[in-house]
Amino acid sequence: MVFGVGWQGMAITCDTVLLCLRNGDLMRKNETLFYGSARCAWLAGVTLMLAVAFTHDGRAQQAPPAVPVLVAQAEMRDVARQAEYLGRVRAMDRVELRARVSGVLGERRFTDGQNVKQGEILFTIDPAPYEAVVAQRRAAIEAAEAGLEVATGQLERARELWRTRSIAEAVLEQRRGDQLRAAAEVSLARAALREAELNLSYTEIRAPTDGQIGAAAVSPGNLVGPESGALAVLVRQDPMQVGFAVSQRQIVEARSQSAQRGGMDVIRVRLILPNGATYAEPGRLDFTDVQADARTDSVALRAVFPNPDRLLLDGMGVRVLLEVAAPEKALLIPQSALLADQQGSYVFVLEQGNRAAIRRVRTEARRDGSAIVLEGLNAGDTVIAQGQTRVRSGAIVAPRPLASGS
């Protein structure tokens, strides 16, 4: 029987041993050597222990395989400094269409969501009662004008009689007063006619501006009036405004930096839509509030964006990107290289022998899949961009370059 184990090229063999349990003795095949059965058992046990020990020792001496990773170099590039804020889209013009006079709602001359032009009739209210009032007011004017004509004639006769002293002066003054009251009655009647005509015009509810109208809130046939609320909402959608707030510190820094580069006009404004896509049309800042909000220590800003395709909707939540038009040098790494723990952000860098090491970093803005590094790295440092979740500090890695755009 053979007992063997590799140990630096040495072997333990008992190739001619026969276990013969005769009277408790061990007999060698070609010799007459006898040993006690206890000693033979001890030799077998030691042999098995050596086999197990040397087998584990051989495995422990094997080095762990290198972890495959993708790497990229920290590079200095020209970038525009950028800051991101939460914003809300607002229509330039948003009008609630309401009834200005009471009456039965008549024909509706639009479809929900239709684009309308300024001056188009959208709703009508039964005009018949108001047409009747206009006719009454015109008749009242005619009556007042007739009264004025009579009063004027009486005044002229009174003046002729006063020249011959045929009437008392008091009569002349009375005729003059009658003529003035008649003239006032005419003015009052004309004002009443103007009011009636205005009320009649209010029976046609027109679009005050170009825009898109929403859903009608009231159906034809219902009694409406000033207390009925909005009949529909009309929104002018091109251009659109976006309101957002920045901290007092940021507005001061932005103004000081922009002043060195030519004013606030050098600040470009972009939008990130709710689906994460960048809005194609650039915007411009058109308003900065004259006071800060004491509750939030922030200042309200407003930007204007073209909206030819109607992608921006009134009330939509967006992200606002402000960037200085003039680019400057910054150290960039792939955003995927960044990791974080309780102590902050860090990356794995490659040291001599492809050994991974942790490097603490401080970053600023993140954009287009890249992160701007302010502290912790130098240009040319190699960072692990993918696969670092399987890496530990000091581990050997098998690096491959990260493909462009990954």
pLDDT for 21 equals 37
Instruction: Give phi and psi for 257, each to the nearest 5.
Output: -70, -40
- pLDDT above 80 (res 183): yes
- pLDDT above 80 (res 226): yes
CATH class for domain 127-202?
mainly alpha
pLDDT for 18 equals 35
pLDDT for 64 equals 74
| Local confidence band at 61 (pLDDT 50, 70, 90 cut-offs) | low
| Local confidence band at 325 (pLDDT 50, 70, 90 cut-offs) | low
pLDDT for 405 equals 58
pLDDT digits (tens, 9 = 90+) for 369-379: 788 899 999 99
pLDDT for 14 equals 40
pLDDT for 187 equals 94
76-85, 144-153, 315-324, range with the lowest pLDDT = 76-85
Question: The domain 82-90+236-328 belongs to what CATH superfamily?
Answer: Efflux pump adaptor protein, beta barrel domain (2.40.30.170)
- pLDDT above 90 (res 69): yes
- pLDDT above 90 (res 101): yes
- pLDDT above 90 (res 122): yes
pLDDT for 124 equals 93
User: What residue type is 325 in one-letter code?
Assistant: A
CA distances for 164 relative to 158, 159, 167, 175, angstroms: 10, 9, 8, 16
Report whether CATH 2.40.420.20 matches the domain 68-77+329-401.
yes
- pLDDT above 70 (res 209): yes
pLDDT digits (tens, 9 = 90+) for 141-155: 999 999 999 999 999
| Local confidence band at 327 (pLDDT 50, 70, 90 cut-offs) | confident
Looking at per-residue pLDDT, the higher value among 138 and 248 belongs to: 138
Mean pLDDT within 243-257: 80
- pLDDT above 70 (res 136): yes
- pLDDT above 50 (res 344): yes
| Local confidence band at 36 (pLDDT 50, 70, 90 cut-offs) | very low
Q: Which of 82-91, 124-133, 156-165, 261-270 has the highest mean pLDDT?
A: 124-133
Mean pLDDT within 295-320: 90
Percent of the chain residues topping a pLDDT of 90: 45
Looking at per-residue pLDDT, the higher value among 158 and 45 belongs to: 158
pLDDT for 251 equals 78
| Local confidence band at 314 (pLDDT 50, 70, 90 cut-offs) | confident
pLDDT digits (tens, 9 = 90+) for 155-167: 999 998 988 888 8
Taking the domains of the chain in order of start, what are their residue ranges?
A: 17-60, 68-77+329-401, 82-90+236-328, 127-202
Residue 39 region by backbone torsions, left for phi larger than 0, else alpha for psi between -120 and 50, else beta = alpha
pLDDT for 52 equals 46
